[in-house]
């Protein structure tokens, strides 16, 4: 009797672990990227246009630093949009170098595919803050 009970419990446990009894896994698509700093538009002005070179699509334009501090490690988020304006592809590109206040810098990055049109925003950046010590 004990042996029969042990076999039933063992078989029941194995049936519970069987893949057929597991719930179906639904693939999860990652959430789209969004700028890491909300309100980045108050510190930067971005203009862009699509360009083609040697059969490849690029997005080119300028980023102007309108904030009061130099910015470093500026990253751009380029969204590929479909005809209805929905994001269908994304890429993040580094601008490189330091962007002083009041200065604009040129960028040219590969356009994410697919995309009928594009949107460019500042994805991330670091402010450079320095202190000056003045003698009396």
CATH number at residue 52: 2.60.40.1620
The answer to whether position 102 is within a domain reads: yes
Distance of alpha carbon 1 from its chain centroid, rounded?
A: 62
Mean pLDDT score of the chain:
84
The answer to whether position 17 is within a domain reads: no
Q: Tell me, what's the pLDDT at 5?
A: 46
Structure confidence by residue, pLDDT tens digits, 62-84:
999 999 999 999 999 999 999 99
Per-position b or e across 98-114, b if 16+ CB within 10 A of its CB: ebeeeebbebebebbee
The answer to whether position 76 is within a domain reads: yes
Q: Tell me, what's the pLDDT at 135?
A: 74
Q: Tell me, what's the pLDDT at 23?
A: 58
If one counts every other C-beta atom within 10 angstroms of the C-beta of residue 37, the result is 13
Tally of domains in the chain: 1
Q: Tell me, what's the pLDDT at 22?
A: 52
Q: Which parts of the chain have pLDDT scores under 70?
A: 1-30
30 near 11, Cβ under 8 Å? Answer: no
Q: Could you tell me the residue range of the domain that residue 89 belongs to? A: 40-127
The answer to whether position 7 is within a domain reads: no
């Amino acid at each position: 009797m004990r042996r029969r009970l042990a076999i039933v419990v063992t078989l029941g446990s194995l049936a519970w672990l069987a893949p057929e009894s597991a719930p179906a896994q639904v693939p999860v698509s990652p959430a789209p990227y969004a700028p890491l700093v909300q309100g980045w538009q108050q510190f930067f002005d971005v203009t862009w246009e699509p360009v083609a070179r040697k059969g490849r699509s690029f997005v080119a334009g300028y980023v102007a630093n309108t904030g009061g501090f130099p910015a470093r490690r500026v990253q751009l988020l380029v969204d590929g949009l479909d005809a209805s304006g929905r994001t269908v592809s994304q890429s993040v590109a580094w601008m490189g170098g330091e962007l002083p206040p009041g200065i604009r810098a040129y960028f040219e990055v590969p356009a994410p595919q697919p995309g009928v049109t594009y949107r460019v925003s500042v994805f991330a950046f670091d402010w450079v803050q320095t202190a000056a010590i003045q003698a009396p």
